[in-house]
Amino acid sequence: MARNNKILVPAARLALDQLKADVMKAQGYDVDSSTPDNVKFEIAEELGIPLTKGYNGKLTAEQAGKIGGPIGGNMVKEMVRLAQEQMLRK
């Protein structure tokens, strides 16, 4: 599956993938660290959303948000927590 999202620092891709795997494992999902993007299929299945590999143009924005929201939202919460920890140490 092609990645359409662009990160500001391409070299950070591995660290972001690891963060996604760690965060979603903590949320109780079975995540393979080598393919953390596959967690979206597990979430879609839980929600009854027909997500497939490849083209998913028939999904509504609401359906896509229900899949990606928990992933991105939990990643942001963890990044904020880590930043707060760093600030307290300084």
- The DSSP call for residue 11 is G
pTM, two decimals, is 0.77
pLDDT tens-digit series, residues 22-54: 999 999 998 888 889 899 999 999 999 999 998
| Residue ranges of domains in the chain | 10-89
Predicted pLDDT of residue 90: 82
Six-digit token pair at 29? Answer: 């999902």
Query: Residue 3 — pLDDT band, cuts 50, 70, 90?
Result: low
Residues 6+ apart with CB under 8 A from 17: 33, 36, 37
